[in-house]
Amino acid sequence: MTIEPTEFDMIALARRGLQALYDEGCAGIEFAQGHARIDPATMDYTAESKEAQEQAYEVWSAAYDRFARFNVLHPERVAA
């Protein structure tokens, strides 16, 4: 006997996956900012640090957009 997942189950699973992707993007930004190096000559972030922060922000931005669009299409049910 197999149990077929319902549409509600599939939406909940997709929401958890997108939330995990968003959380990973947030952690990437925190990691990039926490490990950023400053060049003593220019008193600015090194090129590698800037690149890492830009990439982390792009990942976070894409995850946020996906999650926001998903929530528009499938809003969370509020308990009455």
Q: Which H or E run contains 38?
A: strand 38-39
Q: What per-residue confidence (pLDDT) applies to 77? A: 74
Predicted pLDDT at 64: 97
**Could you tell me the residue ranges of all domains in the chain?**
15-73
DSSP 8-state class, residue 46: -
Tokens of 26: 């947030």
Contacts for 71 with CB less than 8 Å, ≥ 6 apart: 15
| pLDDT tens-digit map of 11-25 | 999 999 999 999 999
**pLDDT tens, position by position, 4-61:** 989 889 999 999 999 999 999 999 999 999 999 999 999 999 999 999 999 999 999 9
Q: How far apart are CA 28 and CA 55, in angstroms?
A: 9
How many CB atoms are located within 10 Å of the residue 22 CB? Answer: 19
